[in-house]
Amino acid sequence: MAGKSPYITREGYESLREEEAELWKKRRRVVKILAAAAAEGDRSENAEYIYRKKQLREMDRRIRYLQKRIPELKCVENPPHTTGQVFFGAWVTLEDENGEEVTYRIVGADEFLPAKNWISVDSPMARALLGKCLDEELLVHTPSGAKELLVLAISYQPPD
């Protein structure tokens, strides 16, 4: 779930809006199926009815969350004036003590994707990176322990 930060990229904002619209479409289909299952009689042993009720609850929970969260979000569309420092939306390439490189993108709490190395602006790594400059060393305290890192590159454009 979301953290404290209200910031989100334009792509993330559009993705949440699309998710909400898709949920409403899907919800209409589920309600029709649920009504048909309810019409079959005894609901206590009707697996289709029980499953669709659960599915509807989950969808309604997510829709309520999105309806509350989306108006609170502040969409960050333009890169900062100082592109030599790490701010929200940046792709940051780091090198660890072993010489291994990794690139992270700092995004909003509602759009982080560990598989793509998109980290939440509220994460310990992002908080340690914010404001850092090129070739600056930093110490990051993560759940797996402290790490010394070097900032190799900062970009506000997606890497090729």
Query: Residue 1: inside a domain, yes or no?
Result: no
pLDDT of 2 > 60? The answer is no
Report pLDDT digits (tens) over 8-25.
Answer: 999 999 999 999 999 999
Query: Residue 94: inside a domain, yes or no?
Result: yes
Q: What is the DSSP letter of 140?
A: E
Mean pLDDT calculated for residue range 120-127: 92
pLDDT of 1 > 50? The answer is no
CA dist 34 and 69 (Å) reads: 28
CA dist 51 and 57 (Å) reads: 10
Domain count, the chain: 2
CA dist 132 and 140 (Å) reads: 12
Q: Could you tell me the pLDDT band of residue 53, with boundaries at 50, 70 and 90?
A: very high
Assess whether 82 and 145 both reside in one domain.
yes
Mean pLDDT calculated for residue range 52-80: 95
Query: Residue 37: inside a domain, yes or no?
Result: yes
Query: Residue 160: inside a domain, yes or no?
Result: no
Mean pLDDT calculated for residue range 80-98: 92
Assess whether 99 and 84 both reside in one domain.
yes
Query: Residue 132: inside a domain, yes or no?
Result: yes
**Which of 58, 75, 92 delimits the end of a domain?**
75
Assess whether 45 and 82 both reside in one domain.
no
Domain with 59 in it:
7-75
Assess whether 60 and 128 both reside in one domain.
no
Global pTM value = 0.82
In one-letter notation, the amino acid at residue 127 is: R
**Per-residue pLDDT at 145:** 85
Assess whether 58 and 84 both reside in one domain.
no
Assess whether 94 and 150 both reside in one domain.
yes
